[in-house]
Structure 1
Amino acid sequence: MNTSRHSLRRFLHSTCLALLAASSSLALLMPAEAASNRVQEVSGTWTFRLLPNDPATAQHADTTQWHAAQVPGHVHTDLLAHHLIADPYVGDAEAGLQWIGNAAWEYKLEFDIDEKTFNARHQDLVFEGIDTFADIYLNGKKIAATDNAFRRWVLPAKSLLKKRQNELKIILHSPIQSLLPQVQAMPSKLAGNYPSPFGDEPRDAMTGNFARKPGYHYGWDWGPRYVTAGIWRSVKITSYDDVLLQDFHIQQDQLNAQSAALQARFDVQADKDAQIDLEMRVSDPDGKQIMSRSLHARLKKGLNQLALPLQIDHPRRWYPHGMGEQALYSFDLSLKKGRQVIAEQKKRTGLRQVALRRDKDQWGQSFGFVINGIPVFSKGANLIPFDMFPNRVKSEQMRAILQSAKDANMNMLRLWGGGYYESDAFYDMADEMGLMLWQDFMFGGGVVPGYDKNFRENVVAEAKDQLLRLRSHPSIVLWCGNNEEETAWKDWGIGKKLAEENPIFAEHVWSGYVALFGEDLREQVARYGAGVPYWSSSPSNDLADKANDSNNGDKHYWDVWAGSQPVEAYLSETPRFMSEFGLQAWPVQSTVDAFAPRSEQKIDGPLIRAHQKFLAGDGNQRLLLYIRANYHEPKSFADFIYLSQLMQAEGIEMASLHHRSSMPRTMGSLYWQLNDVWPGASWSSVDYFGHWKALHFHARRFFASLTVAALHDKGVTRLSVISDLLQEQNLAWRLRIMDVDGKVWRDTTQALKLPANSAMELAQIKDADLPAEANQKTTYVVVELMKDGKSIARSIAYLLPSKLMQLPDPGLVATIVAEADHYRLDLHADKLARAVWLDFGEHAYKLSDNALSLLPGESISLRLDSKQSLATLRASLRIRHLAQLATSP
């Protein structure tokens, strides 16, 4: 059906045009993070074009004309806004758009500056982010050549700025063409990530790991290859006269339940000796001012480092989601010279202590986070960028994804190193929601030239910029040097191959790695990271001999999926902290409809294959391998979607419950991945449009603060109970051994005193000990956690793969009724209804639960929110369950 597909095109196009039409007026603002006294946004009517002498002009002459541009923005989105390229997300447009990454682009703006800015003694032109290799010209003079998309570029401009009609020109060079000559000249090449399948870059000379730009732009196994460029964050003019407030942060010296000993620390730059007054107002998490302090200071010419002690009695501390409140204090600073306020800044931060526990124990060396003295089991997922083009990410889209993480009872997200450092708004949201952040530095994989002094200096400057910007956020609990670079060198044969080819160079490369990730970044985090721990790589044991070790450090486990091992292998892997593992699935039907018409939705169809980026083993065939291992053969592409999501949800649930029930040996379970950059097949639990896959509904249950696990493996069902709560719980647990038709072979309930923050094994049930009447093809084990006589958590273990079970028609009956401000969907099953999925097609809706199983005779009620009429919802409801696909075994 083409409706959704055209809707996506219209949505993306209208979004681009709306952004192009942004106001051209100049704005004055005083952002919290600005290291300057006055800030004027540089705005107006930006224009762009393909550089006229670029080789691409021969085939793309229409792009050499000047067109309106969006800044912040990207070349691809500007081209799309003017219909100069096909929609990058629809159909199989990817191959035809690779020329953009090999071309050079020119951006231009004419702007004025206001009176106060023009008369200031100091004026700097500031680029908060430019991607990546850019020549910057101001009023005809080249003032900079940039080479890092993650840095903040501050360019002195006093001698060049005019009051009216300033011209800013930016030449954005191709990152591929900028780096390719030096890479091709290397006698021994450094291993990259994913070679381009499109011929826009040689497969044996990949440039992405030499560029300080988002690595995923070069393509990944869950996203397309769009090597874009652009002025991707704001452009400003900062100005001051003779005193500059360069930095302001709150240092937490001591914190406990009784008191918080803090220091407000300031870096002030002075052109000459001067006297200033600092005034600090502190507000509690409810917004009530609780303190006002002042400091009179005599400045010397140059940099002055000042401190103002602050004490808060009985502080409200910041805790992760599920452990306590997300208390955030506000610190408002005014800097005065005489009676004149010359600078104001505001910091909002949470008071919390964070430690990375690395104790030696009977298993090896632990890896787990301790917040305010309390060990935390980290529950969550890995976060990738929200879009291929960051400027297109709206605040509400970002908030919806983070809210989905919180709603699924997650308390941690790992910000993977192949993307970019997120916006200030993102970290504010994480602070508010109590989502701990494992923050990678932006190294996604491959081998980087750490042996190059200039490269390392560039990265150190980048790290300092980001640490200073982000250190006030209590959500950040770890800075990690990179993703998978150490294990790639040690475990994937990359280091061995280079050592065989060129041993001297290999040693040089590894020494550079240790210098960059073992020393340089560690030192920057120690200096500017506000006490947050540092970890050199993931997976790693922080540069110990073995990188991806189950007994020490964090673990990435891909024997399941990439190694084609059965999902049951998850139960034999018990790491100290699982920071990556995953199974793929297709998104919901309406998301697939957005990029491919129904007639093209075939497992091996070209449009479907174009949106399946796992090429190493043919992603759809790998999906079929796992589907066929446990379920029936899909009869249609819709079945394929349903079964892929079921396989993903049940597999990740098995692994996550195993991790949680292995506490305290295992202290973290972060599956790959939370979200998507575009509509397509991936490991995500929430698709590009924010729709929850089956996995996310399961995650809300298996990450609940109180839950149970029934895990069947090798003829034994192991029953466990898990609590993240910080108080002992008086509960009960109920065990039933049942038949699909509703017969109960065993039904027992026992009292349970569950210690705080713990996991406990309840029982082990061998298949051989089941009642003689129980048929494995129809029997399953149900364990429930009971509180005040009500079931609060449930886990079901099946004794055979689904394809070998005899699942009856469950006799499902669904009724939808209207209530005050929503609908109610009532569902009843006469017999076991396994893996029920409710869907309303192309209509927008939200269900309070989905991807669930009903026991024989069970009835449930779900909340249904939709703007559609009752008649439309009743007519469009489609129900899937596993018995529909069953055939006689």
Structure 2
Amino acid sequence: MSARQLLLTSRCSLLDHLLGEDPTPAEDEMDQIDLNGSWGLGWSDGTRKIAARPLLDATDGPFLATATVPGEVHLDLIAAGLLDEPNLGLTTARSRWVDDTVWWYHRDVVVPPELAGRRVWLHFGQLDLVARVFVNGRPAGEHANAFRPFRTEVTELIHEGENHLAVELQARHGGIDKAAILTGKDDDWNRHKRPWHRKPSYQWGWDWSSRYLNVGIGGDARLVVAHSDLLVGRAVPLADVDADLATGIVRARVELENVGTDPIGATIRAGVAGVTGRADVEVAPGEGVYEVVLTVEHPELWWPNGQGPQTLHDLDVEVEWDGRVERRCSVIGFRRIEIDQSPHPGGGRYFTVVVNNRPVFCKGANIAPLDSIPHRIDRARYERLIELAVESNFTFFRVNGVGLYESDDFYELCDRAGILVWQDFTFACSWYPAEDRAFLEDVRAEATWQVRRLASHPSLAIWCGQNESEWMQRTPDAGADPLPDYHVFHLLLPSVLEAEDPSRYYAPCSPHSPGTTAYPNDDHVGTQHPWHIGMGNWDIRDYRQSPARFAAEGGVLGPTSLPTLREIVEDHDHPQASIGWHTHDNWIAQPGDTRPAIPDEMLLQVMGVSSADLDVEQYAYWGGLLQSEGLREYVENYRRRRPDSGAAVFWAFNDSWPTTRSWTTVDYYQRRTPGFWAVRRAMAPVSVVVARTGDVVEVFGVNDTPADVTGELEYGFFRTDGPGSARTATVTLPANSSAVVATLGPWEGDPVSSVAFAALRRDGELDARSRLILPLHRELDWAPAGEPKVVLGDGVATFQSDVFVLGVCLDLDGDRALADNMFDLWPGMPYSIPWPFADAPRILHTGNPRS
């Protein structure tokens, strides 16, 4: 048995067991000729060139470098010593010549005589971006979409023996003869006509990423040889559960392509969870999807994180025709996902994700691509990302349209971790050339490919057409004039989903206000991006009044981890004077013509601290404390409003490259930023939130678990310089809900010297706590923090202070999995955390004014 036959047999053993058969795979080792590995890399800048034509001879000289396929040109140039690592210094600016260059990939391939007379296709998993493909010097096809593969038949171009393959690639359209599409954003985007380019938008440069246009053969390369006129593609199953959760329905779908002229009879068999089925089909000429429907009674269900187990099932599919058999394997989960948009009694509509008939509050963040060069994102980095998300108590990711259709690794890990995923189609902050028929057909092919690739994943909950484009085109005062690319997101993409994934919810844009004809960011219906705070409004307390039904994007800028800051900036004493600081800074954070930098203004207005006076470590602390407070306000506000609000999803979880300031709680090197722990506390499954509604101070008990929680609540007011008044009560937090569990009444004492608090204990152990400060932090009547007491014993560190201490910082490096950090101390109330480390905890900074 060949290695490939062994792989097929081991991965599809379930169907053998169910059917009692041992079919013979249809293909042998010669079905595919692997083209991965080393290729020669040529280039042309328009005047000078090396190996820059379809068919080479001895006059072309040596290649510029060796290219690795799959791979990316920048990585090949780095390996050859011709380019520096893009994350360092000004390398991204010095690398612009790469996307101004025409690149040529070359390699020879030997076709053995036994394949003579068979039909042959050339396949590239990804060509980024503008490609012309040649076989033996003759044109084989063109392609300009990094989001779907390239395949072309080369039977007439290839021959027995040695053949030469060449691919010309450009990172972008050179001198594109298309009309400019206004983006409302950056001049560079308009100059290069970004909306025409089907590649990740963030590579053109975003506020949180540097411009770094990738180019290369980014997917597997191979020659595929047909044994017959029937080609078996991917298994693309769909799984769902009926309304009473008693019956699972699997549409075991498989792609079949008849490359001949006559119909071909075939039998499809499938098996999952002990159930098998078959269908006899007639495959018409052309490509299509054919299926077997399986019914599974009382299936084990898949649940989101914290709601139940993430049960997954192996699905095996085989196709038999003309005495041949091919198999495909997949993994599915049985779950039912709906979006409750029923009328809200206060006006508008709810927006609640309901999984298996249970409402789920979506806690999490948008994710950015994990690297400026996606090709070097490996599974280990995704595993670390998901680990940190689970540590943060996430249940939800939004994959923003600025980035990628996320990878198979990402979705497989989300399936296993129980993290729900919202996936944007890759359109963002522009309007697109919808009048161009070729562009529309390319988008349809792209969407079909990606929907089929991802639809089997139980973690995938929501599809969305694009990010913020409609919002950019309409203001609250705008009328209902038709948008120039309306039909892409309201007609074309929905038609693809109706055919390929009809059961999942689809929103044409985010933010989106369904049922309205004008402003897409209406707080009371659909999804919202509450950027009215953090972009220009520095007062983070205003989050407390935001009634957004489903906050899908918003945030506060803050610093990255201290080691990353130190790597970037040259002058650690005056970091903002460093060219590295400004190169790696978020461009929204940079000062405008008439205003200071937004995070600097926020730090001054909220905390009373001037960033110009801070060295790099001090900035990491104070900027991190500000972001911690802002993200805490964001998350706590929406969680306490449940079910009126259905999500607290912020921008963003991670960085694509090393930054000085960003929106994230995990930096490029996957270190925790100073803001990480505030988000983790705010998203804990069981929480309390102190809030003022009108003139009354209340304590909300927030419980995201499927069981009621009962505990002892201590609540009241303390003074900044010492204890105050407190009460206790036994309270029950209902399952999967938020409810007022105690009322403090009107504020007690002077707000500038008093703080409202609540602490929930179960079985004597602290479970959650919250505090409310009414004035700005700089306006509070602070007592000096002094030296809080730290006692270490039996693997537990206990901290205590006689006065209120803000933001006790134990670590700014972000590598250690501390149980807590950047936490407060309340007067006379000990606070304990596990401490499994050999060294004793050391308080590095506190947020009380420095004496």
**Please, what TM-score do these two structures have when normalized by structure 1?**
0.84
| Letter matched to residue 234 of structure 1 | D
Distance 1:514 1:725 in 2: 40
CA shift digits 1:405-464 (9 cap, x unpaired): 122111111100011212211111111111111110001212211122221111111100
Distance 1:575 1:171, change over 3 A: same
Match for residue 615 of structure 2 among 626, 631, 636: 636
Q: Is the 8 A contact 2:42 2:103 kept in 1?
A: yes
Aligned: 1:560 with 2:533: yes
Alpha-carbon distance in 2 for matches of 1:400, 1:66: 36
Q: Does the alignment pair 1:473 with 2:457?
A: yes
- Tell me how far apart the structure 1 counterparts of residues 693 and 620 of structure 2 sit (CA, whole Å): 27
Q: Which residue of 2 aligns with 1:388?
A: 372
Paired with 2:545 and 2:602, the residues of 1 have a C-alpha distance of 18
Conserved? CA contact 2:248–2:295, under 8 Å: yes
What is the aligned residue count?
809
The answer to whether the aligner puts 1:652 opposite 2:623 as a matched pair is no
Residue matched to 1:579: 552
Question: SS of 2:681's equivalent?
Answer: helix
Asked whether 1:709 is paired with 2:689, we answer yes
The share of aligned pairs that are identical, in percent, is: 24
Cα distance in structure 2, aligned partners of 1:828 and 1:54: 71
Contact 2:265–2:282 at 8 Å: present in 1 too?
Answer: yes
Unaligned runs of 5+ in 2: 13-25, 51-59
Preserved contact between residue 740 and residue 808 of structure 1 (Cα < 8 Å): no
Corresponding residue for residue 794 of structure 1? 769
Q: Secondary structure at the match of 1:838?
A: coil
CA deviations on 1:318-344 (whole Å, 9 max, x unpaired) are: 111111111111111233447653x11
1:662 is aligned to 641
> 1:143 pairs with 114, 136, 140, which one?
140
1:628 aligned partner, one-letter code? L
Q: Quote how far apart the aligned CAs of 1:798 are.
A: 2.5
Q: Which residue in the other structure is 1:111 paired with?
A: 109
Residue pair 1:102, 1:176 contacting (<8 A) in 2 also? no
Flag the 1:282–1:740 CA change in 2: closer, same or farther, 3 A: same
Q: Within 2, Cα distance between the matches of 1:857 and 1:378? A: 32
Q: Structure 2 CA distance, aligned partners of 1:858 and 1:309? A: 60
Work out the CA distance in 1 between the residues paired with 2:525 and 2:4: 54
Distance 1:221 1:555, change over 3 A: same
Write the mapping of 1:219-234 to structure 2, written as runs, cut at 5 A: 219-234=205-220
Q: Which residue of 2 aligns with 1:47?
A: 40
Shift of 1:274: 5.5
- Per the TM alignment, residue 347 of structure 1 is displaced from its structure 2 partner at its CA by 1.0
> What is the CA deviation profile of residues 265-295 of structure 1, one whole-angstrom value per residue up to 9, with x for unaligned ones?
3443444565555443324xxxxxx344455
1:159 corresponds in structure 2 to: 156
Provide the C-alpha distance between the structure 1 equivalents of 2:695 and 2:97, rounded to a whole number of angstroms: 56
Deviates more, 1:805-814 or 1:348-357: 805-814
In structure 2, distance between residues paired with 1:781 and 1:120: 82
Q: Say which of 248, 263, 272 aligns to 1:260.
A: 248
Secondary structure in structure 1 of the residue aligned to 2:559? coil
Counterpart selection for 2:331 from 336, 345, 348: 348
How far apart are residue 761 of structure 1 and its match? 2.3
Stretch deviating more after TM superposition (208-217 or 541-550): 541-550
In the alignment, the residues of structure 2 paired with residue 267 and residue 120 of structure 1 have an alpha-carbon distance, to the nearest angstrom, of: 25
Q: 2 CA distance for matches of 1:383 and 1:835?
A: 26
Q: Secondary structure at the match of 2:785?
A: coil
2:796 aligned with 1:784, yes or no? Answer: no
Q: Evaluate the alpha carbon distance shift between residue 811 and residue 532 of structure 1 in structure 2; reply closer, same or farther with a 3 A threshold.
A: same
For 2:68, what is the secondary structure of its paired residue?
coil
Give the drift of 1:310. Answer: 2.2
Rounded to whole Å, the distance in 2 between the matches of 1:846 and 1:593 is 21
Which residue matches 1:418? 402
* 1:880 is aligned to 2:851: no
Go from structure 1 to structure 2 and tell me whether the alpha carbon gap of 1:654 and 1:107 turns closer, same or farther (over 3 Å shift).
same
The structure carrying a bigger helix percent of its residues is: 1
Contact 1:127–1:152 under 8 Å retained in 2: yes
**Amino acid across the alignment from 1:588:** S
Instruction: Report if the CA contact (8 A) 2:559-2:674 is conserved.
Output: no
User: What is the letter of the counterpart of residue 658 of structure 1?
Assistant: N
Deviation at 1:249, TM superposition (A): 3.4
- The CA distance in 2 between the partners of 1:566 and 1:651, in whole Å, is 9
The Cα offsets for residues 41-90 of structure 1, whole Å up to 9 and x where unpaired, read as: 32231221322645799xxxx99952111222222222222221233211
Corresponding position of 1:850: 821
**AA aligned opposite 2:654:** N
Cα drift, residue 204 of structure 1: 5.4
Partner residue of 1:805 out of 763, 778, 781: 781
Q: Per-residue CA shift, 1:84-119, capped at 9, x if unaligned?
A: 123321123333222222221112222345787x36
CA distance in 2, matches of 1:65, 1:492: 57
Compared CA separation, residues 671 and 114, structure 1 to 2 (3 A): farther
Answer with 442-451 or 361-370: which moved more. Answer: 361-370
Query: Aligned to 1:49, what secondary structure does the other structure show?
Result: strand
Which residue of 90, 93, 102 corresponds with 2:91?
93
Aligned to 1:527: 499
Q: 1:850: how far off?
A: 1.6
Residue in structure 1 matched with residue 191 of structure 2 by the alignment: 205
Residues 293/837 of structure 1: CA separation in 2 closer, same or farther (3 Å cut): same
1:602 aligns with 2:575: yes
CA–CA separation in structure 2 for the residues paired with 1:833 and 1:71: 55
Q: Secondary structure at the match of 1:720?
A: strand
For residues 637 and 347 of structure 1, do their structure 2 counterparts lie closer, same or farther at Cα, with a shift above 3 Å needed?
Answer: same
Partner of 1:199: none
The alpha carbon displacement at 1:194 in A equals 2.6
**Matches of 2:618 and 2:383, distance apart in 1:** 31
Pairing 1:548–2:532 present: no
- Whether 1:675 aligns to 2:654 is yes
The verdict on how the C-alpha distance between 1:433 and 1:802 changes in structure 2, with shifts beyond 3 A counting, is same
State how far apart, in whole Å, the 2-side matches of 1:806 and 1:301 are.
Answer: 78
Contact between 1:814 and 1:828, CA under 8 Å: does it hold in 2?
yes
Q: Are 1:838 and 1:878, in contact at CA under 8 Å, matched by a contact in 2?
A: yes
| 2:75 aligns with one of 72, 77, 80 | 77
1:91–1:553: structure 2 CA closer, same or farther, 3 Å change rule?
A: same
**Deviation of the 1:300 alpha carbon:** 6.6
For residues 217 and 649 of structure 1, do their structure 2 counterparts lie closer, same or farther at Cα, with a shift above 3 Å needed?
same
Residues 528 and 490 (structure 1), Cα distance of their counterparts in 2 relative to 1, 3 Å cut: same
CA shift, 1:705, in A, is 1.7
Q: Compute the displacement of 1:617 (Å).
A: 5.1
Per the TM alignment, residue 609 of structure 1 is displaced from its structure 2 partner at its CA by: 1.0
Residue ranges of structure 1 left out of the alignment (5+ in a row): 1-24, 197-202, 284-289, 497-505
Alpha carbon RMSD of aligned pairs, Å? 3.3
Tell me if the contact between 1:249 and 1:264 (Cα under 8 Å) persists in the aligned partners. yes
Counterpart residue identity of residue 195, structure 1: D
Deviates more, 1:583-592 or 1:637-646: 637-646
The structural deviation recorded for 1:775 is: 5.4
Structure 1 residue 778, shift from structure 2 partner: 4.1
Change (3 A) 1:628 1:225: same
AA in 2 matched with 1:209: P
Aligned residue in 2 for 1:359: 342
**Is residue 289 of structure 2 the alignment partner of residue 316 of structure 1?**
no
Structure 2 residue 425 is the aligned partner of structure 1 residue 441? yes
User: Letter of the aligned partner of 1:377 in structure 2?
Assistant: F
Aligned mates of 2:61, 2:679 — CA distance in 1: 47
Q: CA deviation at 1:588?
A: 1.2
* Residues 266 and 688 (structure 1), Cα distance of their counterparts in 2 relative to 1, 3 Å cut: closer
Segment drifting more, 257-266 vs 653-662: 257-266
Residue in structure 1 matched with residue 412 of structure 2 by the alignment? 428
User: Mean alpha-carbon deviation: is it higher for 621-630 or for 159-168?
Assistant: 159-168
Task: Tell whether 2:556 aligns with 1:592.
Answer: no
Question: What amino acid does structure 2 have at the position aligned with 1:216?
Answer: Y
Alignment match, 1:281? 271
- How far does residue 521 in structure 1 lie from its aligned partner after superposition? 0.5
The residue type equivalent to 1:396 in the other structure is: A
Match of 1:836 among 782, 804, 808: 808
Cα 1:721–1:881 shift into 2, 3 Å: same
Q: Which amino acid aligns with 1:665?
A: D
Instruction: In structure 1, give the amino acid aligned to 2:431.
Output: V
Question: How has the CA–CA distance of structure 1 residues 682 and 303 changed in structure 2, closer, same or farther, with 3 Å as cutoff?
Answer: closer
